[in-house]
Amino acid sequence: MQIIQQVLFILTAGAAIWLFSKNINNIRKNILLGRDVDLSDNKAARWKNVLVFAMGQKKMFRKPVAGILHLIIYAGFIIINLEILEIILDGIFSTHRLFAPGLGGFYNFLINAFEILALGVLLACAVFLIRRNIIKVDRLNRKELLGFPKTDANLILATEIILMTLFLTMNAADRALQGQHYGQYHQTGSFVVSGLIAPLFQNMSPAVLVAIERTCWWVHIIGVLAFMNYLPYSKHLHIILGFPNTYYSSIKPMGKFRNMKEIQNEVLYAMQPELAPAGEPAAMKFGAKDVPDLTWKNLMDAYSCTECGRCTAACPANITGKKLNPRKIMMDTRDRAEEIGKNISKNGQFADDGKTLLHDYITDEELRACTTCQACVEECPVSISPLDIIVQLRRHLIMEESSAPQEWNSMFSNVENNFAPWKFSPDDRDKWAEEMKAGI
C-alpha cells in the first residue's frame, strides 16, 4: 500500500510541476512580446528596492489594518512552505515527519511556529473575505472586478482557509495517534494550536484517525499543487512576480520622463540639416498602440498587478469622476497580452485580429484624463507603473493619429512656435519686467 501511495504522489507532483512550468513559460513568452529595454543598471539600488518594498512591504503599511493582515499571510506563505517541504519529502520517500528525529526539540518549536502562523493566516483570510463581501470596501468592489476577478480573490482566500484548516486537523489527528502509540507516528509532543482540537479525536479508533490524518495530508498537498497551478491564471501571480518586478522598477527620480531620441533628432536635423543621415529616413513608430509596442517591463507590470486598487483610490482623475482607472489599465494590458499570446500559439505567428490595446481596450477618454501626477506609481505596493503605459499610448494618439483636444493642440502649437505654452513671442516674454521697472 505504501509503495502505491509513494508512486501516486511522485506522479501527481511531477505532473503538477510540469504543468506549472508550462504555464509559467507561456507567461514568460507573453511578457517577452514587449520591446527590449535594458534595466541592468545600479544593482545595489534595485536590490534595496526588493528588500524594502517586496520583502519589507513598506507601502502596504500606508493602510495599517490591511498591511498587518497581508504581512501575516505573506509570512505564513513563506515560512509554512518549509513544512510543505517536509510533506513533499515524506511523499517521495514514504516516510512520516522526516525531519522530526534529526531536529529533536527544535522540530516542535518549528511546527508550533507554523501552527501559530497558520491560525493567523486563517483569521486574516477570514477578515479579508469580510472586507470584500460584507463591509464591501469601495476599492475592492469596483465594476472592473465584477465576474472572474472577484471570484478569483474570494477563491484564493477560501482556499487558504481550507489549507490551513487541513494542516491543523492533520496535526491534531497525528497527535491523537501518538497518544495511542500507533505505528510510525513519532512522539513529538503536543502542538500549541492543534493541541486544542486534539481532544476531539482521542476516543476515535486508530483506523479512523489514520484515515483522517492521511486524508488531510493528501488533500492538503494536492491543494497546494492545485494552488500552484492556479497562480498563472490569477492575480495572485504577484506572489512570484512581485520580487523581480520590484527589482526592475524604475530607479529614476519620480516624474522624470523618457525623452524620445527620434524626436530629438528630428529637431536637431531641422536646425542642422548637414547632420541628417543620407537617403530615405527610416520608418519610425511613436508611442504604443498595442502590446508589442510596449516594453517587456510594462507587460511584467501587468502580470504583477495585485488588483488591490490602491492606484485607482489615489488617482485624482478617478476621484473626480473621470473614466481613468489605473487598475483597469493594467488589467486591460494583461488581458490583451493573453489574447495575443493565444493567437500566436494557435496560428504559429500573430494573425491580425482587427483589435489593438488602444481603442479596443483602453479609450482616448481614459488616457486624456491622466494628469501624470505619479500618484498611482507612488501607491503601488509592487512598484508597478500604470503611468508609463498611459504615456506611451497617449504619445501614439498625439504623434501617430494627431488626436488631441483643441486645448492641447493650441499648447503644442505655442511650444513649437514660441518655445513656451503661452501665446507670446519669445522677444516679448520679458516685457512684464520692463513694465514693472518703468512703473517703479
pTM above 0.75, yes or no: yes
pLDDT at residue number 87: 87
Lowest mean pLDDT among 51-60, 136-145, 276-285: 276-285
Higher pLDDT, 275 or 395: 395
SS (H, E, C) 357-421: HHHHHECHHHHHCCCCCCHHHHHCCCCCCHHHHHHHHHHHHHHCCCCCCHHHHHHHHHHHHHCCC
| Residue 333 contacts residue 34 (beta carbons within 8 Å) | no
| Residue 105 contacts residue 97 (beta carbons within 8 Å) | no
Residues 301-330, mean pLDDT to the nearest whole number:
97
pLDDT at residue number 96: 84
pLDDT at residue number 421: 86
| Residue 369 contacts residue 408 (beta carbons within 8 Å) | no
Length of the chain: 440
pLDDT tens, 61-94? 999 989 999 999 988 877 777 778 888 888 888 8
Lowest mean pLDDT among 197-211, 348-362, 378-392: 197-211
Query: Which helix (H) or strand (E) segment is 130 a member of?
Result: helix 105-130
- Residue 314: is it exposed, middle or buried by C-beta count within 10 angstroms (0-12/13-18/19+)? buried
Cell for 366?
481614459
Find the distance separating the first CA and the last CA of the chain, reported in whole Å. Answer: 103
- Cα radius of gyration rounded to whole Å, the chain: 28
- The percentage of residues in the chain with a pLDDT greater than 70, rounded to a whole number, is 98
Lowest mean pLDDT among 2-16, 393-407, 413-427: 413-427
| Residue 112 contacts residue 168 (beta carbons within 8 Å) | no
- Please enumerate, as own/partner, the contacts of 58-61 that have beta carbons within 8 Å and a separation of 24 or more: 59/310, 59/379, 59/380, 59/381, 60/381
Please tell me the distance from the alpha carbon of residue 173 to that of residue 213, in angstroms, as a whole number. Answer: 5
Half-sphere exposure of 20 (CA within 13 A, CB side): 16
Please tell me the distance from the alpha carbon of residue 165 to that of residue 147, in angstroms, as a whole number. Answer: 27
Residues 402-406, mean pLDDT to the nearest whole number:
90
Please tell me the distance from the alpha carbon of residue 32 to that of residue 257, in angstroms, as a whole number. Answer: 23
pLDDT at residue number 274: 81
| Residue 221 contacts residue 84 (beta carbons within 8 Å) | yes
Angle of CA points 284, 399, 406, to nearest 5°: 170
Residue 134 scores a pLDDT above 90: yes
Domains and CATH numbers, the chain: 2-31+63-238 (1.20.950), 261-270+283-427 (1.10.1060)
Residues 251-265, mean pLDDT to the nearest whole number:
81
pLDDT at residue number 140: 94
Q: What DSSP string runs through 310-353?
A: HHHHH-HHHHTT-S--HHHHHHHHHHHHHHHHHHHHHHSSPPP-
Higher pLDDT, 384 or 421: 384
Residue 2 scores a pLDDT above 60: yes
Q: What is the mean pLDDT of the chain?
A: 90
Residue 280 scores a pLDDT above 70: no
